[in-house]
Structure 1
Amino acid sequence: MREKCTMRINVSAVSIEENRIDSFRRGNTLINTFRVQEEGILGIHFQQGEISDEEGYARARQNLALNRPYPFTLETGVRSRDMTERVLTNRQLMEYTEEALEYVHSEFPEFTLNGGFAQSILYFGQENDRGLDYSSRDCTTEFRLSFKHKESRELHDGWFSIGQRDFDMQKFRAMADNYLTAFGLSRDFPKEILVQMRYYDLLSLLAGSLNAESICLGTSLLSGRLGEKLFAEHFSLAHDVSDAECWNTPFFDGEGVVQKGDRLLYIENGVVLRGYADKRIARKYGVEHTGSACSACADLPYNGNVNLRIKCSDKTVRELLNGSLSVVPIRYGGGGFNEKGEWVMPVQLGYLCDGERLLGRLPEFTLVSNLFDMFGEDFIGVGCDNPVFHDKSILVRMRLGKSRG
């Protein structure tokens, strides 16, 4: 049996330095992985750049001699998904960048911007002799900018980014207004520290802990605890590559597996249901196969392909705050989780916020929490709207650690 995996990445990017357009670059990358399976052995050939299918499969067949075991049946299915809404020309990328810089310079001349504006077009395809024919395409744009006040001694004070499929300059302006206007206003901490942030950075340890192999080996914080209610009643976590949740992500995994509805729950109403396992891990440990294989370009597929999403509330962020104010970390680093699940994060720039509007800058501070509290008794929810970040916001109660200095 033969199988081919294809990835095409087309990037156009404008680089910004010191409020000026510094450069423009284009990059086109084509990656093909050819697989030949015979008697439970998989031969693989990885090729960056053009190659004929005939030659690619011939080289993969030669690599059967490496004797890499893969005793699994290849998948079937036909499906195509294209999330593209708009593709900008190179001229439009430049013009939007110029317009954005002109706006910030005229409204906020005291700030210097660095970063860039980029458009990425990603295509993923997978096909085999059993009739599998999957393709996934997406096109996204992202402004990612750091900002520095003219009186600051820092290399940069903060940053903001906005990703869109159909670029809207008004949304960029609104975000710039929100972040840069609030920088000049000083605020004190509210009585209760309700942290509002993108939740992806908080999921790293939980994602690792849900690895079925780690759970079986006893090295996960969730080992021996499947079926237990470890988190909040209103906390649910799923692998989700549905149209609503995908962002440059295909609907199939590295072995061509697709979940029903493009979604699979790992934690439901606080209860840990399962860990994630590709075909190899599922067979090795006798656990549920969850379709979580990454496509290794030059090797066997490996476990770890999860696009984790927290279930959103039916309330907006402001409604979840219920009249309270939130703390929004903007520039933070130098911390994270330890092996016990404790989380400490120094924040160099944070804002006070009403859930939508940034109200002013807070003194530097350190946030303290742990894995089971932030998604347990301290978990407030994820808003159904996307203020501040043009992305989903989580609300979590946290504590302030020792101040710097």
Structure 2
Amino acid sequence: MKKEKYVDNMKETSLIISASKIDSVKIKDITKKSVRIYDGGYIGIAGGIGEVSTEELEKKAKENIKNKIPYEYEISKDKCISIDKTSEGMNDKELLSEGEELLSRLCKENEDFIFSHKITMMERSTSLSNDENLNLSYKDKSICTELIFKEKSSSSIFDGFIGYEGRKYNREQYLNMASRILKAYKNEVSLPLEGKYKVGVYMDSCEELFLQIFSKDLNGRTFKKGGSIFSEKTGKKLFNENFTLMQTKNPKDVCLQPYFDMEGTVTEDYSYNLIENGVLLSPYTDKKTSKLYNLKNTAAASGNYDEVPTLGVPTLKVKPSNKTLKELFNGEEGILVYIASGGDYTSSGKFGTPVQLAFLFDGEHIIGRLPELQISSDVYKMFNEDFLGVCSDSLFGLEGGKVMVMNMDVKNMK
């Protein structure tokens, strides 16, 4: 019989904003615990929220072994790692005064707009340990500004957002980002022609939409059962030489996500390349999928704290190139996709999406707001001959701010 303990604490302090003023402050502090017992090829789990004793959870987990839930995989062991990223950035006591100052400056410098939604400080502490010498812990803290803007003369419920999530919040950089977006928003422009354009995809808001085909079709089970567009293509060069897609838990790439998965698997550099220099290497997997199909375990086990870990969708990132955004656009006018939703891929890989907010852009200057657009392509074009790269710098100088550039078909929706 082997015992494993999981503890996850999340603290949130949120400034709720309405009509450009802080309306209220909400605080959450939630601790989730679970104990897993492994015995005879079975797993028993018990979990609780708040002040619950480990001894009581262990007792219940032992009782739950009787349910005979199979778990026939070796538990993680002999690994002790502790990572703490909480020293970076402000503390929650400074959040209220910072929020008040930020809103004051935003309103003063952008008098034609109203701001709402929230600013949140989050701090997370997660650990997983067992009696096989596994002791993993992760602490992180970030600030997330989710400000919706509405032009005072607009009849819409909202017109856009100014978002940031990271550990190194900087007020002046954020205000500069807001100024660039709002100035461009007020300057209505049009596309001279429909056709193929350089399209820069703002990954902070559009990453999930554009990478959803990989999230779905690189699932190890779907991949090996033949239900993926990429099935039977392992080892083949399907994409551009400069296209590398990685599953990542590295703190350099993500905030508030432990570097280990729910089974305690840790990969080298806390990431794993699924596609490298255009070559398909592997789907993403957990222990079960890895064993069942003789695949490398990529550490994609997920699940709630009190459930048996199962294969989840990991965070996927495209590796940045060595070119800046200016270099990728090379002086050409193109399109910056800032807000896009409602798009999808077909089963054959064709892609299309409406773009609710796009700007005319030349790699440096956000020139003006374009009318609503429709963009389209194909997965084997977008990430192959039409793929230009992800910029090495940040669009707004803040953390994140990556832009993926490719050639796509563009047309006006109106």
Coarse TM-score class (shorter-chain normalised): over 0.9
For residues 190 and 69 of structure 1, do their structure 2 counterparts lie closer, same or farther at Cα, with a shift above 3 Å needed? farther
Instruction: Please give the secondary structure, in 2, of the residue aligned with 1:398.
Output: strand
Amino acid at match of 1:32: K
Pairing of 1:33-112 with structure 2 (within 5 A): 33-76=34-77, 77-86=79-88, 88-112=90-114
Amino acid at match of 2:157: L
Question: What's 2:30 paired with?
Answer: 29
Contact 1:182/1:359 (CA < 8 Å) preserved in 2? Answer: yes
In the TM superposition, what is the alpha-carbon distance from 1:91 to its structure 2 partner? 4.3
Instruction: Please give the secondary structure, in 2, of the residue aligned with 1:203.
Output: helix
Question: What's 1:185 paired with?
Answer: 187
For residues 361 and 305 of structure 1, do their structure 2 counterparts lie closer, same or farther at Cα, with a shift above 3 Å needed? closer
TM-score, scaled relative to structure 1: 0.95
Structure 2 residue 134 is matched with structure 1 residue 124: no
Amino acid at match of 2:41: G
Question: What's 1:138 paired with?
Answer: 140
Structure 2 residue 206 is matched with structure 1 residue 198: no
Contact 1:145/1:160 (CA < 8 Å) preserved in 2? Answer: yes
Amino acid at match of 1:66: N
Structure 2 residue 327 is matched with structure 1 residue 319: yes
Name the CA distance, whole Å, in 1 between partners of 2:311 and 2:12. Answer: 28
Amino acid at match of 1:393: V
For structure 2, the 5+ residue unaligned runs are none
Choose which of 399, 408, 411 in structure 2 pairs with 1:398.
408
TM-score, scaled relative to structure 2: 0.93
Q: Deviation digits for residues 67-123 of structure 1, max 9, x if unmatched?
A: 111112211210100112346444421111111111121111111111211111011
Name the CA distance, whole Å, in 2 between partners of 1:243 and 1:146. Answer: 27
Name the CA distance, whole Å, in 2 between partners of 1:9 and 1:370. Answer: 40
Q: Deviation digits for residues 309-354 of structure 1, max 9, x if unmatched?
A: 2111111111111111231223332222233322221122211122
Choose which of 348, 370, 373 in structure 1 pairs with 2:381.
373
Contact 1:85/1:166 (CA < 8 Å) preserved in 2? Answer: no
> Relative to structure 2, which stretch is displaced further, 125-134 or 83-92?
83-92
Contact 1:336/1:344 (CA < 8 Å) preserved in 2? Answer: yes
Identical residues among aligned pairs (%) = 29
> Relative to structure 2, which stretch is displaced further, 335-344 or 120-129?
335-344
Contact 1:157/1:331 (CA < 8 Å) preserved in 2? Answer: no
Question: What's 2:227 paired with?
Answer: 219
Q: Deviation digits for residues 104-147 of structure 1, max 9, x if unmatched?
A: 21111111111211111011110001111000111000111111
For structure 1, the 5+ residue unaligned runs are none
Contact 2:32/2:48 (CA < 8 Å) preserved in 1? Answer: yes
Question: What's 2:365 paired with?
Answer: 357
Q: Deviation digits for residues 35-60 of structure 1, max 9, x if unmatched?
A: 00111100011211121211111111
C-alpha RMSD over aligned residues:
1.7
Name the CA distance, whole Å, in 1 between partners of 2:313 and 2:261. Answer: 7
For residues 347 and 21 of structure 1, do their structure 2 counterparts lie closer, same or farther at Cα, with a shift above 3 Å needed? same
Pairing of 1:247-266 with structure 2 (within 5 A): 247-266=255-274
Contact 2:390/2:403 (CA < 8 Å) preserved in 1? Answer: yes
Count of residues in correspondence between the two structures: 404
Instruction: Please give the secondary structure, in 2, of the residue aligned with 1:35.
Output: strand
Amino acid at match of 1:332: A
Contact 1:185/1:360 (CA < 8 Å) preserved in 2? Answer: yes
Instruction: Please give the secondary structure, in 2, of the residue aligned with 1:280.
Output: helix
For residues 250 and 89 of structure 1, do their structure 2 counterparts lie closer, same or farther at Cα, with a shift above 3 Å needed? closer
Q: Deviation digits for residues 233-253 of structure 1, max 9, x if unmatched?
A: 110111222342232111111
